[in-house]
Amino acid sequence: MNIIVCIKQVPAKDAPLAISGNWIKESDIGFEMNEPDSYALEEALRLKEKHGGEVIALSMGPERVKQTIKEALAKGADRAIHVADDNFHQLDPLGSARALAAAIQKEKCDLVLTGLQSDDHGFGQTGVLLAGLLNLPHATLIMSIEAAEGKMKLKRELEAGWFQWIECPLPAVLSIQSGINKVRYATLKGIMAAKKKEIATVTRESLGVSAEATQRVEKIYVPVKSKQTEFLTGSAKEVAAKLVEKLKFEARVI
Amino acid sequence: MATSVTVKTAAKGGNFLLEAALPGDIFTPADFTDDHRLIAQTAEEFVTKEVLPRVKEMEEKKPGLMVELTKKAGELGLLGSSVPEEYGGGGLGKISTTLVTEKISVYGGFATTFGAQTGIGTLPIVYFGTEEQKKKYLPKISSGEWLSAYCLSEAQAGSDAMSLLTRAELSPDGKNWILNGQKMWITNGGFADIYIVFAKVDGEKLSAFIVERTFPGFKPGNEEHKMGIHGSSTTPLFLENCVVPRENLLYEIGRGHIVAFNILNSGRFTLGVSCVGGAKQGIAISSKYAKERKAFGKSIGEFGLIREKLAEMAIRTYAMDSVVYRIAGTIEAAMAAAEGSADKTQQMMKVLEEYALESSIAKVAGSEMLDFVTDEGVQIFGGNGYHEDYPVCRAYRDSRINRIFEGTNEINRMLIIQMLMKRAMSGQLPLIPAAMKLADEILAGPSMDEAPEGVLAEEARVLASAKKMFLQAAGGAVQKFREKLADEQELIAALANMVMEIYIMESALLRAQKAAAAKGQTASAAMIAAARVYVADGAERVEHEARRALAAVHEGDMLLTQMAVLKRFGKRATPDTIALRRVVAAAVQAQDKYPFEGK
Ligand SMILES: Cc1cc2nc3c(=O)[nH]c(=O)nc-3n(C[C@H](O)[C@H](O)[C@H](O)COP(=O)(O)OP(=O)(O)OC[C@H]3O[C@@H](n4cnc5c(N)ncnc54)[C@H](O)[C@@H]3O)c2cc1C
């Protein structure tokens, strides 16, 4: 089974964020593998260990993304594709999905895995759009994959502690739920072995994908922390009425 | 060689006292490759996920746990980074090994176990083992299947290790060595499988042996009740007619001191590295606590005195961080150069010896830095810092051992000057011509110094003057006491303190200059501030030691003249270190951690 895992590099969780234009200041922060994608990678490696085949790590972004690609290779991916793009943070989910889809179409693969969402933008759409563009079946919130003879039995997470079992043909695109497996370490041997693995670099232009945005970020800002406490007085009835008023017109939540 | 290094040629050991290095000459954390960073990440993740959640159990000595975690580290390849690939290790360079050590060293008990296993418990076989010994032991030591220990100290022979009494005699049939004696204070003693034991053949010729736990006549004693590093095992060992196969002699009869000293040279460097790891953790927990703890309606982290503490903790850590990676880069470059030679072991030993002085600096200054950091950490935690529920309390206790083992800091201070003098006398280091040149310069009177230019130029000038102060003091001391200098321990320690400060100041300075050149002054503002504070205070400390030394060496008019010269060398600008520390504190508090990681 040949599996492509889409892996994004995102700002490190403890990075101090400063805003620059409509993105964050990147010069002074560390980056890491998007955590939801690390579960997708782990799932791919486990499927490969069971069924054979190849795991290909696919990542888009500027040169620094290589660090994350190398991590995926060190953990056991066989080779990698880097869609080099210095302005990728300006892409909307459709733009990203188009570029990734174009890269995937050049490969023969049975399964495409993505994480559920990215820890930076958090759109949670790339996987879904990718399936649409590739014209492949898709399922999200995958808890487990049992593959056999051209199809898979999938466990999905629903609301309120419910699960769903579905059958899905191969090839397909799946978005993996976070936390479903215990992610392996990159061993020192793995890190050294990764040096010999191939990282193919392509550009978005060479894939013929335009940068035309369907969506534009107007502004990003750090939410201002503000806490207010107000005591309402009166009889229970009066207080309830005042509360409803405030919720309706001040907090605007009902 | 696994990793590429930007430093192409290694400076000679001790040379920093005589020549000004350039920023491009030294390796700094900003030079880490992707592979270095991945290796560090694996070690860090291992500690966060496996070690830290189980500290309490380890402190309580839960049976088998330390062994289990060490083996787990072995599975990830963390134990064998300095073991060549052909013997089951990673064959990684010094920089990677240094990173692994630093990142592992968050919890003292585990760091000590790990250090004994991967350093002093592994390297004797790597450097001095026969092909058979390497094949037999190294793969199992690097995988963690077998744990190891290094056994030099005895009850009456600690600093004075050469006076050890354990004996080795060849059995009448000539097939085995029979060892008799007792060892004391052996790290990993309780659970190791392999012990590197030092004993005197026929009571005279110091030699090293590889002893397996299962050999007849070998028995570890009970665990010691220690002040700190409770998670680690420290026991005496009893050898009663212990039977060791003849082929388990390590290296040559009567050359055990070569094994012992070379391994300690390298172990001292590693210990300094480990202190840097511990200090970074101390900063992180202290900064977080300072943010959460409220007093007088504020976070205590908003008070100037708390900020000053956080800043100074970060500045001293930064300086030692710069020192250890500078040394790692130098050693890696020198090892790479030695790699191709036919007598590899000899060459490797030469490299260890070449940088023994720098290694001692890392050990002494690193351990004193960590004591400072954990002490201030306790202070930031206030009463809670005195409570075992808070990790800073344990870190404070754990830190203390570092000034004692691997050669006490007193012994290492003596060694620093002893090694320096040896290099000077043999002509390896042109210290004497430099001192003479300085004397001429002094006679010639004040010269017009060129106005400094560029980033940290004034600090570079201050550093150059500090080197002159050292030459002035050391030159006088050698001239007066000659071969009797060894008896003047207090004077030697003053000189050693100057040597250390100079190396640390220079490392801090060059790293900041290198960063400023690469990323610009604005992006490196906090690091530049840290370097400026370190150099300003370091210069004060150097001058203070110079004054003490000169007073011990000269008297009367000569002393007055020397003091006038010292005053001339001591001319320097007065940076506002209060304001500079605020800049560093802000950088710490922005992330609640050591702010110069990998930079
Ligand atoms: C927790 C722990 C773990 C250890 N692990 C190991 C291990 O794994 N293997 C091993 O072999 N050893 C180990 N040791 C032993 C350690 O290396 C010695 O304790 C250390 O070398 C000091 O020796 P000592 O205790 O005999 O002190 P002493 O030598 O008695 O020193 C006492 C004091 O006198 C000073 N002093 C001694 N000689 C001089 C001198 N010439 N000039 C000036 N001052 C001097 C010392 O600096 C010190 O301040 C360990 C010790 C401890 C506490």
Helix (H, G, I), strand (E, B) or coil at B237: strand
Fold of A3-203: Rossmann fold (3.40.50)
pTM for this entry: 0.92
Q: Residue B450 has what pLDDT? A: 63
For residue B331, pLDDT beyond 70: yes
Query: Using 50, 70 and 90 to split pLDDT, how confident is the model at B452?
Result: low
List, as one string, the DSSP characters of A75-124. Answer: HT-SEEEEEE-TTGGG--HHHHHHHHHHHHHTS--SEEEEES--SSS---
Determine if ligand 1 sits within 6 Å of the CB of residue B195.
no
Query: Using 50, 70 and 90 to split pLDDT, how confident is the model at A92?
Result: confident
More confident site: B425 or B195: B195
Determine if ligand 1 sits within 6 Å of the CB of residue B397.
no
CATH number of B148-257: 2.40.110.10
Residue with tokens 């992707």: B34
Which DSSP symbol is given to B154? Answer: B
Residue range A181-225, pLDDT digits in tens:
999 999 999 999 999 999 999 998 889 887 778 888 888 888 887
Q: Which residue in B33, B36, B38 has the most chain A C-beta atoms within 10 A of its own C-beta, making it the best mutation to test that interface?
A: B38
Q: A211 touching B, CB under 8 A?
A: no
Give helix A126-134 / helix A93-105 axis angle, nearest 10°. 50
Determine if ligand 1 sits within 6 Å of the CB of residue B404.
yes
Entry field: residues in chain A = 254
Share the mean pLDDT of chain A: 92
Contact B149, B186 (CB under 8 A): yes
Q: Residue B5 has what pLDDT? A: 44
Determine if ligand 1 sits within 6 Å of the CB of residue B401.
yes
Rounded to 5 degrees, φ, ψ at B233 are: -100, 130
Annotated active-site residue B543? The verdict is: no
Contact B84, B91 (CB under 8 A): yes
- Write the residue with the smallest CA distance to atom 52 of ligand 1: B185
Three-state SS letters, B56-69:
HHHHCCCCCHHHHH
Q: Residue A12's closest chain B neighbor by CA? A: B591
Q: Residue A229 has what pLDDT? A: 82
Q: Residue B544 has what pLDDT? A: 98
Q: Residue B9 has what pLDDT? A: 58
Q: Residue B10 has what pLDDT? A: 64
Three-state SS letters, B419-452:
HHHHHHHCCCCCHHHHHHHHHHHHHHCCCCCCCC
Q: Residue B3 has what pLDDT? A: 42
For residue B12, pLDDT beyond 60: yes
Query: Using 50, 70 and 90 to split pLDDT, how confident is the model at A23?
Result: confident
Domain B424-591: CATH class, spelled out: mainly alpha
Please report, for residues A104, A134, A152, the alpha-carbon distance to residue A126 in angstroms, rounded to integers and kept in the order given: 13, 12, 21
- Separation between Cα atoms, residue A218 and residue A19, nearest integer Å: 13
Contact B42, A191 (CB under 8 A): yes
For residue B573, pLDDT beyond 90: yes
Rounded to 5 degrees, φ, ψ at B42 are: -60, -45
For residue A230, pLDDT beyond 90: no
Q: How far is CA A156 from the centre of its chain?
A: 17
Pairing status of strand B176-187 against strand B167-170: antiparallel
In a mutational test of the pocket of ligand 1, which residue from B148, B159, B209 has the highest number of ligand atoms less than 8 Å from its CB?
Answer: B159
Across the interface, whether the CB atoms of B35 and A191 are under 8 A apart is answered yes
Rounded to 5 degrees, φ, ψ at B417 are: -75, -40
ipTM of the modeled complex: 0.88
- Separation between Cα atoms, residue B403 and residue B399, nearest integer Å: 8
Entry field: residues in chain B = 599
Return the percentage of chain B with pLDDT > 90, whole number: 88
Please report, for residues B11, B15, B22, B273, B360, the alpha-carbon distance to residue B420 in angstroms, rounded to integers and kept in the order given: 15, 10, 22, 22, 11
Q: Residue B346 has what pLDDT? A: 79
- Separation between Cα atoms, residue B105 and residue B232, nearest integer Å: 13
**Tokens standing for residue B598:** 């990998």
How crowded is residue A217: how many other Cβ atoms within 10 Å of its Cβ? 13
Contact B170, B249 (CB under 8 A): no
Residue range B456-467: mean pLDDT, rounded: 95
Determine if ligand 1 sits within 6 Å of the CB of residue B525.
no
Residue A14 to chain B, least CA–CA distance (Å): 7
Q: Taking the alpha carbons of B271, B464, B420, B160 in that order, is the dihedral positive or negative?
A: negative
Picking from B37, B76, B92, the nearest residue to A67 by CB comes out as B37
Residue range B338-370, pLDDT digits in tens:
877 777 777 888 888 899 999 999 999 999 999
Residue range B197-214, pLDDT digits in tens:
999 999 999 999 999 999
Picking from A27, A28, A71, the nearest residue to B38 by CB comes out as A71
Across the interface, whether the CB atoms of A186 and B38 are under 8 A apart is answered yes
Residue range B296-312, pLDDT digits in tens:
999 999 999 999 999 99
For residue B593, pLDDT beyond 90: yes
Confirm whether B148-257 and B424-591 share one CATH topology: no
Q: Residue A212 has what pLDDT? A: 78
For residue B329, pLDDT beyond 80: yes
- Residue B183 CA: nearest ligand 1 atom is 11
- Separation between Cα atoms, residue B590 and residue B599, nearest integer Å: 16
How crowded is residue A79: how many other Cβ atoms within 10 Å of its Cβ? 15
Q: Looking at chain A, which runs of residues are DSSP E strands?
A: 3-6, 9-11, 19-20, 23-24, 31-33, 55-61, 79-84, 111-115, 138-148, 151-157, 163-169, 172-176, 199-203
Q: Which of B332, B354, B368, B406 is catalytic?
A: B406
Residue A73 to chain B, least CA–CA distance (Å): 11
Q: Which long-range contacts (C-beta less than 8 Å, at least 24 apart) are formed by B174-177?
A: B174/B246, B175/B245, B175/B246, B176/B243, B176/B244, B176/B245, B176/B246, B177/B201, B177/B209, B177/B243, B177/B244, B177/B245, B177/B246, B177/B248, B177/B249
Query: Using 50, 70 and 90 to split pLDDT, how confident is the model at B4?
Result: very low
**Tokens standing for residue A161:** 């502690």
Three-state SS letters, B338-389:
HHCCCCHHHHHHHHHHHCHHHHHHHHHHHHHHHHHHHHHHHHHHHHHHHCCC
For residue B539, pLDDT beyond 60: yes
Parse chain B into domains and list their residue ranges.
148-257, 424-591
Residue range B480-499: mean pLDDT, rounded: 95
Share the mean pLDDT of chain B: 94
Interface of B with A in 28-47 (CB under 8 A): 34-35, 37-39, 41-42, 45-46
For residue B100, pLDDT beyond 50: yes
Picking from A15, A66, A186, the nearest residue to B42 by CB comes out as A186
For residue B474, pLDDT beyond 70: yes
